[in-house]
Structure 1
């Protein structure tokens, strides 16, 4: 079977060796990391967010992922560490003025430059295409190249002026070593947050229990002295109650003779020492109790009546 036409087979045609490992195109890998969402595999569009491990996402894709509560939801490595929207930071990216997008190659007769990127470093001007290391600050979300942070050392952000620490610097699309270091920092940060919440809850419970105990058993200082407002009110009431008593007491120097003191019983008008004309103004006078026959008729005569 074969080899009858003078053909000479070679070794690689007869002996099967080990398969060659397929190598991934570096340019294609960089384009996928820096231009596409890690979760939905769609083109990155604003608002763009980054997780604590330095991966890029579309914010709407992260929100849809968090709202999806179905059992068919698959947790991949790209988003298994994202538990809430607080675990991602919205990035403040600087546009590249030389970026044309898809406008230049609409006809398909122009070469797409993969080195050209949509965003650049606002300090140094390097393009964010994966050839240079970029990082962002967790405190404010500003994105810079690592070269800018090393050359211009400062404790505040170069764009917004927000203060940051070394723990706030997160490398975007870093190596395996960078991802391991960022993962360790993330776990330590979340552990500290949990411990802080537990400490706050315990302090709140202690304060509530202390307030309950103080309400049930007041201290001796409160029993003896009391509040200054309450004592002043009590003294005012005592003064007002003692004033009419002293005025009504016989032989007291205060108060004029013959006048009833405040709070004393009122005497009838008939027993008072006023004149009869003054007493006749009241209904209790004897003149008001006359019958109609005894009362006189008042008639006026004017010139208009004749």
Structure 2
């Protein structure tokens, strides 16, 4: 009811002012980013992967997200830029020897130290709890603190020894400005890879449609001698000239005209000679037939 003399309302009850901005607890935000998966909101467990924007995920959650092709799949804004398993990097983490896990406070009568993290930097020893910036190398997946990368400037990984470039460094759970910079690098990298794939496909199509120029090897009919006469025609010419000379000599004696060049015999090739040798193996060949023995009764027995 109110305003009937029995109550005295206050100003904030009658006049609506601007809403107060709710402050987010920094400790809770850090715990959500560094201890839980950004996609499934479950506790981070090995194997852990990161995207090109520096967010942390469980690898199982990413695989389930990529394999789910259902039309009613819920849209996750934190993973819309992940189109393939190649767009994530598996982290090579270093365990913290002082971390006790869930066994540290089973009864609930102890203080939970949120500063103690499961992983540390292998160079400096800083704990990966969100209080310090960490980065990952996209080439090998090793994780270091940003302080270690700045103090020890080198192009070789401190843990595995593989080489890397400055563009391979991804800051984990960075600020809005750092995420925007990583996003521009990601788009440039993907655009460059797309252009390289297109150029490779165009080269393959060109090689299929237009094969490389090969020197044509002349066939046996196109091979010519020093006089410009093909070798095959030379063989026929020699055989025809010999037949013509033999025919002219015989025809001159018998009064017969020599035959034309088209009726000349083709020289016996080496393959035909081999075929005659092959035929002589069988009993059906003329050389394998035996002569008929003489009849000794009707003929005079001449013993030699």
Q: TM-score, normalised by structure 2?
A: 0.71
Counterpart in 1 of 2:120?
Answer: 120
Counterpart in 2 of 1:303?
Answer: none
Does 2:279 match 1:284? no
Q: 2:3, 2:9 within 8 Å by CA — same for their partners in 1?
A: no
Q: Report the alpha carbon displacement of residue 20 of structure 1 after superposing the two structures with TM.
A: 1.9
SS of the aligned residue for 1:86 comes to: helix
Counterpart in 2 of 1:28?
Answer: 28
- The count of aligned residue pairs is 242
Counterpart in 2 of 1:48?
Answer: 48
Counterpart in 2 of 1:175?
Answer: 175
Q: 2:126, 2:145 within 8 Å by CA — same for their partners in 1?
A: yes
Q: Closer, same or farther in 2 for the Cα pair 1:293/1:142, shift >3 Å?
A: same
Counterpart in 2 of 1:103?
Answer: 103
Whole-Å Cα distance in 1 between the matches of residues 190 and 123 of structure 2?
32
Q: Closer, same or farther in 2 for the Cα pair 1:207/1:16, shift >3 Å?
A: closer
Counterpart in 2 of 1:72?
Answer: 72
SS of the aligned residue for 2:218 comes to: helix
Whole-Å Cα distance in 1 between the matches of residues 3 and 115 of structure 2?
51
Q: Report the alpha carbon displacement of residue 284 of structure 1 after superposing the two structures with TM.
A: 3.1
Out of 207, 218, 221, which is 1:223 matched to? Answer: 218
Whole-Å Cα distance in 2 between the matches of residues 43 and 292 of structure 1?
118
Matches within 5 A, 1:1-306: 11-12=11-12, 15-211=15-211, 214=213, 219=216, 222-223=217-218, 284=291, 288-290=293-295
Q: Closer, same or farther in 2 for the Cα pair 1:110/1:293, shift >3 Å?
A: farther
SS of the aligned residue for 2:135 comes to: strand
Q: Closer, same or farther in 2 for the Cα pair 1:225/1:123, shift >3 Å?
A: farther
SS of the aligned residue for 2:170 comes to: strand
Q: 2:54, 2:170 within 8 Å by CA — same for their partners in 1?
A: yes
Give the gaps of 5 or more residues in structure 1.
227-233, 243-261, 266-281, 297-306
Q: TM-score, normalised by structure 1?
A: 0.70
Whole-Å Cα distance in 1 between the matches of residues 120 and 300 of structure 2?
116
Q: Closer, same or farther in 2 for the Cα pair 1:120/1:205, shift >3 Å?
A: same
Whole-Å Cα distance in 2 between the matches of residues 186 and 65 of structure 1?
20
Q: Report the alpha carbon displacement of residue 16 of structure 1 after superposing the two structures with TM.
A: 4.5
SS of the aligned residue for 2:207 comes to: helix
Q: 2:137, 2:169 within 8 Å by CA — same for their partners in 1?
A: yes
Whole-Å Cα distance in 1 between the matches of residues 12 and 291 of structure 2?
144
Whole-Å Cα distance in 2 between the matches of residues 167 and 295 of structure 1?
116
SS of the aligned residue for 1:136 comes to: strand
Q: Report the alpha carbon displacement of residue 208 of structure 1 after superposing the two structures with TM.
A: 1.8
Q: Report the alpha carbon displacement of residue 67 of structure 1 after superposing the two structures with TM.
A: 0.5
